[in-house]
Amino acid sequence: MQMKESNKLDNKLINKIIKVAYGDADIFSWVYIRLKSLTNKEVKLILEEYRQTANVVHKLKQEDIPEHINERIKSVTGITDKSESLFASFSYRIFSFFGSKAIPAAVIGILIIVIVSIFIFKEPSPPHKYSKAEIELAQRQFQKSLAIVGSAFQKAEKRFSDEILKNQINKNLNRGYYLVNNILIGG
């Protein structure tokens, strides 16, 4: 019983591989098989074999197929050689092109409609006009912030000149003079 279930899964996987190789798979199957082929070498080999076969099949021209097979296909499918209306042929080509890709095409169409409608119906917002009271409040706040920054700079400058310049640099200079005097004088 378990063997049959694993064979069904393998058959489903092989069918997905065939669809991907021939370009008939939906986007989810395509991604699934691509990821599966990266991790499973057997899937990768089967995919490459079917791809090669698909390339050969896609390169076949209509002249390569015997006429009696073309007639048989037309009779089974009901296709006739009659000229159809322009609308019918156009709609058939659109449907055949987007048939296996209907969901991505619909999503792209909806996104295009949304983007176009946003640009069409977007109204520019009027610029904000500030009142005199708001401007005066902003000026006072700016002056206070400049005063705070100025006092912080003054404290930093004072500390730098008092502590760092006088104490640290003078200490090192005095030590250097002392060493030079001892070396030159010799004692």
Q: How many CA atoms lie within 13 A of 179 on its CB side?
A: 6
Q: Tell me which of 169 and 57 has the higher pLDDT.
A: 57
Mean pLDDT of 73-97: 67
- Across the range 66-76, mean pLDDT stands at 76
Confidence band (pLDDT; 50, 70, 90) for 143? very high
Q: How far apart are CA 22 and CA 15, in angstroms?
A: 11
Place of tokens 């500390």: 159
Which residues, other chains included, contact 80 with Cβ-Cβ below 8 Å and sequence gap of 6+? 74
Q: Is the pLDDT of residue 4 over 60?
A: no
Among 31, 8, 7, CA closest to 19: 31
Local confidence band at 85 (pLDDT 50, 70, 90 cut-offs): low
Report if pTM > 0.75: no
Lowest mean pLDDT: which of 37-46, 133-142, 164-173? 164-173
Mean pLDDT rounded to a whole number for the chain: 78
How much is the average pLDDT of 92-120?
73
The tokens of 111 are what? Answer: 């996104």
> What letters, b where the CB count within 10 A reaches 16 and e where it falls short, cover 96-124?
eeeeeeeeeeeeeeeeeeeeeeeeeeeee
Distances (CA, A) of 127 to 100, 109, 120, 122, 124: 49, 34, 20, 15, 9
Residue with tokens 């070396």: 183
pLDDT tens digit string along 33-68?
Answer: 888 988 988 888 899 999 999 888 888 776 666 777
Q: How far is CA 57 from the centre of its chain?
A: 34
